[in-house]
Amino acid sequence: SQQGEEDPQALSIQEGENATMNCSYKTSINNLQWYRQNSGRGLVHLILIRSNEREKHSGRLRVTLDTSKKSSSLLITASRAADTASYFCATDLGGTYKYIFGTGTRLKVLA
Amino acid sequence: EAGVTQFPSHSVIEKGQTVTLRCDPISGHDNLYWYRRVMGKEIKFLLHFVKESKQDESGMPNNRFLAERTGGTYSTLKVQPAELEDSGVYFCASSPFFSGELFFGEGSRLTVL
């Protein structure tokens, strides 16, 4: 069974709007990461949030983590067409370096 | 600094044949991971090396898959004999020992006919 599951599976928005994706996981973690994958390319690391952090920002990205609910959200503000990609969360199984990914959210930003 | 490189980028083989995928991690990265994504599904963990040792190979589907990492540098993933369900994109990632960030290669797309 999957450790991380992203929601929604697909999201289509207009350029300039905000995009929010959610990730739920099942076991305790040390940290949670978000990655982006452009079509046909490798995954690119976006941001890492540790289990003792609740919120983190990086440019137009904002990540929150709620360990009591075992969930995280990724907010992309003022989206651009170039943000069109699949987004994945990855969680470690607490105390290990084994990172488990979900099925991803496919984001389409319309110009 | 060179990133993670994978070869080949695309391989088309017939069922029953053998394929070997290669990954060159970023120099100095002790951790090396193999993942696989079958179309539309999750990115599934296959195994994790720390230097030349297999730290966790719980995701390897069966004994048709063999991964090696000679000398703690590059890694190979051999599928022998290949089956139709082995088709997918195989990703390699590396990371420094004490960092959580994974650096991914572009992937090797395997198509088994």
* CA B60 from centroid of its chain's CA atoms: 10
> Which of A30, A42, A102 comes nearest B105 by C-beta?
A42
> Which of B42, B95, B102 comes nearest A2 by C-beta?
B42
| Cβ-based neighbours of B76, under 8 Å, separated by 6 or more | B20, B21, B22, B23, B67, B68, B69
Which A residues 44-63 touch B at CB under 8 Å? 44-45, 48
Each residue's pLDDT tens digit, B19-56? 999 999 999 999 999 999 988 788 999 999 999 999 99
Each residue's pLDDT tens digit, B46-99? 999 999 999 999 999 999 999 999 888 999 999 999 999 999 999 999 998 766
Q: Residue A83: helix, strand or coil by DSSP?
A: helix
d(CA B101, CA B93): 10
pLDDT at A97: 77
Query: Given an 8 Å threshold on Cβ–Cβ distance, is B102 in contact with A90?
Result: yes
Query: Given an 8 Å threshold on Cβ–Cβ distance, is A43 in contact with B41?
Result: no
Chain A to chain B, count of Cβ pairs less than 8 Å apart?
A: 58
pLDDT at A40: 86
pLDDT at A94: 73
Residue B14 Cα, gap to closest chain A Cα (Å): 23
Instruction: Determine phi and psi for B98, rounding to 5 degrees.
Output: -100, 20
Beta bridge partners of A37: A43, A86
pLDDT at B99: 63
Q: Burial code of A26-57, b = ≥16 C-beta within 10 A, e = fewer?
A: eeebebbbbbbbeeeebbebbbbbeeeeeeee
pLDDT at A1: 43
Each residue's pLDDT tens digit, A52-109? 999 999 999 999 999 999 999 999 999 999 999 999 999 987 767 789 998 899 999 9
Query: Given an 8 Å threshold on Cβ–Cβ distance, is A48 in contact with B101?
Result: yes
